[in-house]
Each structure stands twice: as C-alpha cells, then as structure tokens.
Chain A
Amino acid sequence: MNIALLTSEIAVVILALLIIVFDLLMPRQEARRSLGYLAVCGLLGILVYTFNQHGASATVYHGFFVVDKFALFFKQLFIVATILTLLFSFDYIEGLTHNTGEFYALLLLSLVGMMVMASANDLLTVFVGLELMTIIFYILVGFDLRSSKSSEAGTKYLILGSAASAVLLYGMSWVYGFTGSIVLSQIAAHLTASPAMLLGLGLMLAGFCFKLSIVPFHMWAPDVYEGAPIPVTAMLAMASKAAGVAVLLRVFLVAFAGLQAYWLTIVSLLAGLSMIVGIIVAIWQTNIKRMLAYSSVAQAGYILSGLLAADAAGVKGMLFYSVLYMVANVGAFAVTTAVNNQYGSDKIDDLSGLSQKSPLLAVVMTVSLLSMAGLPPMAGFVGKMYIFMAITDKGYFWIAMLGLVMSMVSVYYYMLVVKVMYSKEAKNQQEFTASVSLRIVALISLIATLFIGIYPGPLAELANAAARSLW
C-alpha cells in the first residue's frame, strides 16, 4: 500500500488543522491576515509538490483511490482556484467575520473534499469526497451571520443538497445491488441494461447534475450564489463545479461507458436545456452574483455537452473548458469583491463608471465575461471550439449549433454589464481602492484568459494527456 499517494490530501488537512490551532493561540484582537498568508503559502507548496506526482498512475486502498494524470489535473485546478480566491478576498473576509481563521480552515477542508473526488475510483469514495466538500459548503454559504440572505441560502442549500445526496446514494445502492461492486472498473465489467440498473444510473446522473447545477436541477444555484459570501460563491462556481465534472467523467466514462446508448440522449437534452434556460433567465438579473449564477448554469451546460463525445477529444475539451472557466470566474469575482468592498452590495449598477475609476478592473471584468460568452480571441472561444468540434464529430452538430447561438445571445446580458461600466457615470467621486493582491489576481486572470485564447497549445496538451489517462 502506497500511502505516499495521499500526501497532498494529508498535507492540506494538516494545513487546515494548523490554521485552527494558530487561530486559537493568537491573541483575540490580533489581525488574522497572517493565517491567510499561511494558507496561501502552504497551498503553493502543495501545488509544487503535486507536480512531483506527475506520471504516476497508481491506486491505493484496494483500488478505491487513484492518482493519475486526470486526478492531478483537477487537483491542481482546485488548488490554484483556492489560492487565487484567497488572494482576492482577504479584505472581504476580514470585513465579513471575526472568525477568519475558521473560514480559512473550512475552505481548505472543502478543498480536501474536492481533491478526494478527483481521485475517487469507487462509488463510496465518490460519495465521501462529495459530502466532505458539500457539508463544508453548507457552513460556508451561511457564514455571514449578519445577513439573513446568507443564512437563508445556507439553509436552502442544506435541504436541497441533502435531498440530492440522498438521491445519489439511492442510485448508487441500485447500481451496487445489480453489479455487486462499488469499484468503477468492476461495475463496468458487470453492466447489464436492466431497468433497475438504468434507474440507478438515472438517479446518479440527477445527483451529479445537482452539483453541476444543470437544468432542471439548478434551482438552488441563484439563491445560494446570491446569499453566500463572495469567495464562497466563487469556489462554488468554479472549484465545486469542476469537482462535479471530475467525478461525473470518471463514473460515466469508466463505469457506465457500456450504457452510452441510454444516457447520451438524456445528457444531450440536459446540456441543451441548461444552455437555453441559463442564458435566457440571466438576461433579467440585476444582481451580479445572481447573473453569474445563471451564467454558470449555462456554462455547466457547455461543459456537460462535451460528455456527448464520450471520447478523449471530448474530455479534453471539458478539462480545457473547466480551466478557462475557472480563470474567467476568478477575474469576474475578484472585480465583484472589489466593488463590494467599496459599496457593500452586489448590484450591477454598482459597477457604474468603473472604467473611469479603475480601468484595469473594468477591462478584467469585460474580458472575463466575454471569455465566458466565448468570443475570440478570449479563452472561452477556443474551449467552445474544442468541445463543439469533438461532439460534431460524433453527430451532435445540433448541440454545437445551439451552443454557439446561445453563447452569442449571452453576449447581450454581458454587454449590459459592460455598458454600465463604460457609459454610466460613477455614483460618487469617492476614490476607488482595491488591495494589491486583488489587483494582481485580476491581472493574472486577464493575462491567462488572453494567453489561453491566443496560444492554447500548452494547456491543450496538458488536458489531452489528462484525458487520455482515463482510458
């Protein structure tokens, strides 16, 4: 048994525990910023370490836990997302609560959940990882005790999320019952197309779609996104969604590949519906977080559509898209945080005159939103091309077509935000301040989005290698 494969997960847990201990040891009135720096530095170290695991392809705990390029790709994505989120939200978190140490520790523990999900090679580990992540998110969503919206969002997420977990678990029990195993490769070997099996499959798909906020399982997303503190919303939107993608891919392509004929049609409908509903409803939103929530529903639709190819090219597209979606979201949420620090609310109107007060942040917001819309030369364009070319190859041209048309419709509401930033006058002449770390994160997001869009080669190769390791 090679316990070293678990090093990065263990390290994150230790880091979280360290933060809790330091938090207790520090005098009450002392600022907790140092704990945030500790978390960031620790994660950076772990990120560097994960590169050490490259090329590994091994399992531990009787095949329950696997470390391969696919898992590493996602783990690195989660870690980078967490680091960037922490960096842009120091000021925000300190304004939110006195218990910042707890906040950092919880965020790290949810990261562990995601990392476990990326490596899960059996249904139970999938479930454990998923619950570890989700239960911590229940707490984090309701972390803003002064805001009734936050508490409401936390409660809503708890109730709906538990129901979804129950559905998922119920589906797993059917699958276990009819294949006699929970290990993914064993399930693949004993697949039958019996109705009971398909019932289990359908229930599991519903459970995963809830995590991914795919229509019609998306109802929780707008309220939760709006109520949750911004860094939590950001993590929900990018990291938690990517973790959902990771398990969905592994479960469906390793365990259920043999039943493709049954689930492809359903997945195509779900993906198509998500694109349409997410984009149409987003048009009427006036709260930036709510708008991003609906937009994330549509983005999940795009990512999910890559599953239709059911081959390495499609998976490569999904991995590629997950990264660029993370990068774009970092930019959008960083700017949202800066505006919230300034005005204390998340109305789209608050962005008025941003291009005058902080040209950099206005450009970052514009580029991030347009990347999500998939306009060249931003990264989103290349991501959509990868996914849509892969599924066109398999005869799903209509989804590609629908996706392209809907993405251009989505430009409509992204442009409304751009209009507010560029053409409206600022509400007041107050100086606009944003911390250096926030500006740096915004700049990183801008450069990465443009770089991936113009020169996608390196990232595509990484995604390709990761995708191939699934087979």
Chain B
Amino acid sequence: MVDFPLLTAILLTPIWGILVLSFMPREADKTIKMISAVTMAIALGLTLYAYWAYDVSLGGLQYIENVPWITELGVSYALGVDGISLPLLLLTMLVGFSTVFVSWNVDKRSKEFFIQLLLLVVGAIGTFVSQDLFIFLLFYELGIIPSYIMVVVWGSSERVSKEYAAMKLTIYLLLGSAFMLAGVIALYVNAFPAGMRTFSMQVLAQAHTMGNLSEDVQVFTFFLLLLGFGSTLSMWPFYSWAPDGYAAAPTGVSMLHAGVLKKIGGYGLIRIGLLILPLGVKFWAPFIAFFAVVNVLYAAFVTIAQKDLKYIVGYSSISHMGYILIGFAALNVISIDGAIANMFAHGIMSALFFAMIGLVYDKTNTRQVLSLGGLAHQMPRVATGFMLAGMSSLGLPGLAGFIPEFTTFVGAFKVYPLYTLLAISGIVFTALYILRVLANVLFGPRREEFDTCRDASGVELVSLVLLGTVLVVVGVFPQLLMGMVNSGMEPVMALLVKLHVTPTLLGGVFQ
C-alpha cells in the first residue's frame, strides 16, 4: 500500500456519513443511527491503524499529504500527524464513536442530531490533522454552530435556560476566535514579505529562526492567539461558558466539548503558539502559569460548592485545564509531555464522566447530588464507570490520569516551584469533591425510589466499556501514550533549548 491517503480517509469517512444521512428519510431512525455508528467505527479503525503503524522511532510528521490549494495565498491541503496530534486524533475518534452510542435514544429529529454530531467530529478531526493554518481555520469553528443548535433543540434547562447557555457558549468561543483570527492575520502578514507568504505551519515555524518575526510582533500575536485558544480551553477568566454549556447540552455534545473540542485550545497553543511564536510564548508563559493556578484552585473551590453533577464535572474540567496550562507554561519537554498526555487522559475521563451522568439522568431524571444516593445497589455497571472516571480524575495510580499529571508536576516544579505546589494542592480539593460525589451518589443505603431503574445494558455499555478500558490500559501501560507524545516533542526540544527559560523563585511574575 503505497501512499494510501490515510488521514484524508479518516477525515472523509464522517463527511461521507453526513452526506448519506442527509439523503435518508427522516423516519428511518434506526438506519440513521446504524449509519452513524458504522462511519465512526470505520474512522476509529483507520485511526487505530494509524496510531499502531506510526513509526515512533522515526518521529516527526507522518502520513503526509500535500496538495496545493490556493496557490496565490500559499495555502495547501497539507495533512500530517506527529506525536502531538496523533493521540488527540485518537481521542477524538474514541470519544466520537462513544457519543453515537450515548445518543442512541435520541428519538426527536434524530436525523438532524446525528448529522450535526458528525459535523462536530469532522471539525475536531480536521483541526488535528491539518498542517496548514488556513485549513486548520476552516475546521476550527465548524463545530460551534451545530453545538448551538444541538443545545437549543436537544438540551435541557436546569439552572440556566438552554437558550442562554447555548448563546453564551457560541459568543464566548466566537469572540475568542475573532482575536485568534486577527492573530493569524498578523502572523501571516509579518512572517514573510509579500510574494513568499504561506500558511504552511512547517514553513511558518521557520520564520522565527530566520529572524522575520521580531519579539514585539511575537508577543502581540501570541497574545491574540492566547485569547482565542484560551477561551476554547476555558482558561480563567474566559471559562464561564463551559459549565453552563456542558450542563445544558445533550450528553453527546457535552462529551465532545469537554473531551475533545476543548483540547483544540491546548493543541493550538502548542502547535501554533510554541512552534511558531516561541518568543511570544516565553513572554507570556509566567502569566499563563499564574492563570493556570487560578484555574486549578478557583475552579476546584467552585466545584466543591456545586450540587448538579454536570456542573461538578464542568467546573472540575476547568480545574484540570489548569494542569495542562501550567505544563505548557513551564516550557520544558517533560512538562509539555505531561500536558499533552493529560489532554488525552482528561478527554477520555471527562467523556466517560458525562456519559455516566447522562445514563443516571436518563434513568432517575435528576442530576442533583443530594437527591441521588446508593445507586451502586441498582446500577453496579454505571457505578463502575463512575468510579473509573472519578479515580482517574483525582489521579489514582494505575489509571490514565496519574502519569500525565505526575509528569507535568515534575517538569513544572523546576520552573515554577511555588505555582506547582499550589497546583498540586488542587489534587487534594479534587479528591475532596470527587470522593464526596461518588460517596453521595453511588454508595450509602439503598434507596427505594431507584429500585425501578435498570442498570446500563446493550448499547449503553459501549461508551462505558470502550472509554473505561482505555483509562485502564493507558494507566497500566503509560508507555503506549507517553512514547508517542515524547516522539512528537523532538522538534520542540530543539526549540526550547534555544529559548533558555530560566527558573525563577516566584515563577517569573515578579521579576
């Protein structure tokens, strides 16, 4: 098989699914779901093959495709994955595949639902596989409008109305992306003189070494990118869309947003920020580290006060983004390794969490911690899923969450000792709220009113088994993930050595 366009195939499979779905009659409910499942299964299979066949010892970009697209702008349809994007691509497919089954009992207007669900997945795939900034942008916002519609039509209004939550999500993400787009334009115009301009990420990454991007330009441009990617990643203070949005969204959308789409922010910070604008990153890193600590601690405190399960996971995921941010801000190979691996681990974990919450809500019609209790008696399987996700969330060794967090802290401690200590203390609070939730919801005396609730069965088990297995496998064999991530860090390493990030006592803010 010479040069089979593997990434294009992965990208086109769900698109093909969308096309088929749009010509299906509206009533063919089961067929629609089957088609979605089949397309996602094919794409997942291809991605697993790509992950397996990726030559870790060789590293760098593989499965490269490059077709000139808009020559006068320097845009090419360039795809390729490396150790940074491949885990995230796999994450997308794993979560995407699960969401189809989580949404199996969506009966109202299922055709529209699944078309838009696949659109969300296509957007995420596109951002992770593209090696051209322009193509990246085409996919970057693809998911936002379908998210809006899905929240408004299939969502639920609990604490805030779903219309409000959907609009908040849309506006936050779009305003962020407006700044990001401005940053991209500034980057594009400044990187090379007219006539030689390009959107290719590989070539743009060389603009810095050629001395085309002065430090001022980099600092300014990265600031704009940070506003965009920061709001995608729900960095403090741009986080408030996330909990409301997740809470109002249907389960599948919450899973994709918290598990996958959020990670595009972190990915963009590394791929576009660090690799193209290293001096800008260096300037802003101390600030990001500070925000990261705020993310971890503030969101953890807020989580403790929450009573709605979805809000708990929503705020908790903001808190976890702090770990990713501090790993990024520490700017060394170990900490960034940890940050990328953490994106994968957190994605799987939060998706599993939301899937389980969806199941509980379906069966008991409530998400309030206080009105639930003793569910392990009636639903042992759901309880297992909850336990896996919860334990991974608080970083129990043996599950996926541990190694990435540990690596992050090891790397970050050298650079920001105080911040890292504060961030580590966040784990204590995480343990506090996670354990309390698990205890309140799953354990305790059997409650009569839930005796009629069936345990998860049939298709409901798909997400539990799939995501739960990944959590355990990656936890027990972390090398599967870390080896891949590490191979992606090769080019970053050379860059970081040149940056000379010197550790400072208070983390650089008070220099």
Enumerate chain A interface residues (CB-CB to B < 8 A): 355-356, 359, 366, 370, 375-377, 381, 385, 388-389, 392-393, 397, 400-401, 404-405, 407-409, 411-412, 415, 418-419, 422-423, 453-457, 460-461, 464
Contacts and interface: CB of A to CB of B under 8 A. Distances in A.
Nearest to A419: B152
Interface residues of B, number: 35
B77 to A, nearest CB: 10
B149 interface: yes
A360 to B, nearest CB: 10
Given A375-B145, A415-B167, A419-B163, A388 B178 contact: no
Contact of A401 (B137, B170, B182): B182
Interface in B181-202: 181-182, 185-186, 188-189, 194
Contact of B175 (A375, A408, A419): A408
- Which of B71, B141, B171 has most A Cβ within 10 Å? B141
B179 interface: yes
Contact of B170 (A377, A411, A453): A411
A461 B73 CA distance: 11
A376 B137 contact: yes
Nearest to B175: A408
Contacts of A454: 138
B116 to A, nearest CB: 10
29 contacts: A375-B144, A375-B174, A376-B140, A376-B141, A381-B138, A385-B185, A389-B189, A392-B185, A393-B194, A397-B182, A400-B182, A404-B178, A404-B179, A404-B181, A404-B182, A405-B175, A408-B174, A408-B175, A408-B178, A409-B175, A412-B170, A415-B167, A415-B170, A419-B149, A419-B152, A423-B149, A423-B163, A460-B72, A461-B72
B359 interface: no
Interface string B123-157: 00000000000000111111011001100110000
Contacts of A375: 141, 144-145, 174
Given A376-B140, A400-B182, A418 B189 contact: no
A460 B70 contact: yes
A453 B300 CA distance: 42
B72 A376 contact: no
Central interface residue in A376, A389, A455, A460, by most chain B CB within 10 Å: A376
B71 A397 contact: no
Interface in B472-494: none
Given A397-B186, A460-B72, A408 B177 contact: yes
B112 interface: yes
B69 interface: yes
B69 A457 contact: yes
Nearest to A363: B22
B138 A376 contact: yes
Given A418-B145, A418-B148, A457-B71, A392 B189 contact: yes
Nearest to A461: B72
Contact of B69 (A355, A388, A455, A461): A455
A330 to B, nearest CB: 20
A423 B144 CA distance: 16
Majority SS at the chain B contact face: helix
B168 to A, nearest CB: 11
A453 B137 CA distance: 12
Contacts of A412: 167, 170-171
Given A405-B179, A412-B167, 14 more contacts: A359-B112, A376-B139, A385-B185, A389-B188, A392-B185, A393-B189, A401-B179, A404-B178, A404-B179, A404-B182, A405-B175, A408-B178, A418-B149, A460-B72
| Of B153, B170, B171, B174, most A-chain CB atoms within 10 Å | B174
A411 B138 contact: no
B188 A370 contact: no
A311 to B, nearest CB: 10
Contacts, number: 94
The 8 closest A-B pairs by CB, nearest first: A408-B174, A404-B178, A408-B178, A377-B138, A423-B152, A376-B138, A405-B178, A401-B182
Contacts of A376: 137-142
Contacts of A455: 69-70
Contacts of B189: 389, 392-393
Nearest to A376: B138
Nearest to A369: B145
Contact of A377 (B142, B148, B188): B142
B70 A422 contact: no
B313 to A, nearest CB: 25
Contact of A415 (B148, B153, B178): B148
Contacts of A409: 171, 175
A461 B188 CA distance: 20
A464 B171 contact: no
Nearest to A386: B73
Contacts of B140: 376
Most buried by A among B73, B145, B163: B145
A411 B174 CA distance: 8
Contact of B171 (A381, A408, A422): A408
A79 B182 CA distance: 35
Contacts of A401: 179, 182
Contact of A422 (B152, B170, B174, B182): B152
A408 B171 CA distance: 7
Given A375-B141, A405-B175, A456-B70, A422 B149 contact: yes
Nearest to A370: B145
A317 to B, nearest CB: 11
Contacts of B139: 376-377
A244 B116 CA distance: 39
Nearest to B172: A408
Contacts of A388: 182, 185
A415 B145 CA distance: 8
A255 to B, nearest CB: 26
Contacts of B178: 404-405, 407-408
Given A408-B171, A409-B175, A389 B152 contact: no
A366 B175 CA distance: 19
Interface centre among B138, B182, B194 (most CB of A within 10 A): B182
A226 B148 CA distance: 29
A370 B170 CA distance: 13
A356 B188 CA distance: 43
A355 B112 contact: yes
Name the residue in A381, A389, A415, A453 with the highest tally of chain B Cβ atoms < 10 Å from its Cβ: A415
Contacts of A355: 112
Contacts of B69: 455, 457
Contacts of A418: 145, 148-149
A385 B142 CA distance: 17
A350 B73 CA distance: 42
A409 B72 CA distance: 30
B496 to A, nearest CB: 30
Nearest to B111: A359
Contacts of B182: 388, 397, 400-401, 404-405
A89 B186 CA distance: 43
Given A366-B145, A404-B181, A460-B72, A411 B171 contact: yes
A423 B185 contact: no
Contact of B70 (A377, A415, A423, A457): A457
Nearest to A410: B174
Nearest to B181: A404
A171 to B, nearest CB: 34
A389 B153 CA distance: 37
Contacts of B188: 389
Interface string B10-53: 00000000000000000000000000000000000000000000
Contacts of B137: 376, 381
Contacts of A456: 70
Contacts of B194: 393
B83 to A, nearest CB: 27
Nearest to B154: A423
B150 to A, nearest CB: 9
A457 B76 CA distance: 11
Contacts of A408: 171, 174-175, 177-178
